Amino acid sequence: MTDYESIKLRGVYRSPSHLPIWEVMDKGGIWGQVGVEEVSLEYMADPPDAEAALFDSSIDFISGNHITPYALVAKGLPIVCLASPSNAVRDRVVSRELLTNLDELRGKRIADQPLESRSAGFQHPTGNHMLFLRRAGVEPKEVTWVEIDASGAALRAEQLEALKSGAADACFATGGTEEYERAGLHILELESLPMINGPTLTTSLDRLRAPDRLGERLVKALVLAIHFARTRREDTELILEGLRRREPAAAGASSRSLLRMPLKPYPELTGIANAFELCLMKEPDAKSVSPLALWDLHYLRELDDSGFIDNLYAGITGAA
């Protein structure tokens, strides 16, 4: 896995939360180690737009797209996922009244993005919230959804206002909840939900056949970036500080998300099953194929079997 030809890559990322690992790849010199001399990486909110760009070869890869690809595979389209560095979501419930269990939301009003939104198509986070409810024995139709078609800071501000005004009884929150607590609202901690999310490596079979060893390079770069974040933490913090200054949408970028990434970024089987369940909410015909048909892990397996990943961490205690 050496002697790469020099290539340039084009990609898109589906959420600003993906930027920390890509910033480490760039500023940490990772791309140069796999023969990539330049990477163009742009934000694209809508899954169909990202997939169309992939299929017409305008881009080489997508960071993300976790739900719709299963339906595309069922339709015979050549989309494929190569690795998953994030396999769980960690949310909390914010409520006007004190809750001790998620099933107490039955019959309540929840402020959230619509499952299908004008701003970004199918809303993965809203689907996650529906699965949280289902696992507590509450079907999504047993609550009233107060729809807010916004994202990021604007979404949180509108959710907070809905709770303060009494227009909603609760909302789900990812990340810090300090502003909700200052408003006197209650926080219910939830167990993590297995879920494919974050900067999943998504590409197409056609693109894998074009640039020299594209799949190998992408997976190796991801593994090296995770290693960099785990073993060079001060350098990583400096890199992320620069990212926060440059990109307002990445103001909350933190090394915590990088340190949670597994040394070997295989997807979790239950995460795949839950992502597939969300896909079936939108595209029930996708049940005609196995959800595993989307995944090609042989690049990661070859890297793993070669001893490359184990050797990176040899002699480093507490790295796992």
pLDDT at position 120: 52
Q: From 141, 111, 81, 91, select the one nearest 297 (Cα to Cα).
A: 81
Spatial separation of the C-alpha atoms in residues 119 and 22, rounded to whole Å: 24
Angstrom distance (rounded) from CA 57 to CA 54 = 5
Q: Which residue has the tokens 């023969």?
A: 35
Q: Is a pLDDT exceeding 90 seen at residue 1?
A: no
pLDDT tens by residue, 33-71 = 999 999 999 999 888 999 999 999 999 999 999 999 999
* pLDDT at residue number 251: 82
Give the residue among 81, 57, 29 at the shortest CA–CA distance from 219: 81
Question: Domains of the chain by range and CATH?
Answer: 7-87+196-312 (3.40.190.10), 91-191 (3.40.190.10)
- Angle at the Cα of 307 (from 303 to 310), degrees rounded to 5? 105
pLDDT at 319 over 80: no
The set of residues, in sequence order, having a beta carbon less than 8 Å from that of 122 and lying 6+ positions away, is: 47, 67, 68, 115, 116, 282
List C-alpha distances in Å: 37 to 29, 34, 135.
Answer: 10, 9, 46
Mean pLDDT of the chain: 94
Q: pLDDT per residue over 87-96, tens digit each?
A: 999 999 999 9
Integer-rounded Cα Rg, in Å, for the chain is: 20
List pLDDT tens digits, range 209-257. 988 999 999 999 999 999 999 999 999 999 999 999 999 888 888 898 9
Percentage of the chain exceeding pLDDT 90 = 86
> Phi, psi at residue 12, to the nearest 5°?
-130, 150
What does the pLDDT read at residue 175? 84
Whose tokens are 């990176």? That residue is: 312
- What does residue 191 show for φ and ψ, rounded to 5 degrees? -70, 150
**DSSP class of 316:** -
Over the stretch 185-219, which tens digit does the pLDDT of each residue have? 999 999 999 999 999 999 999 999 988 999 999 99
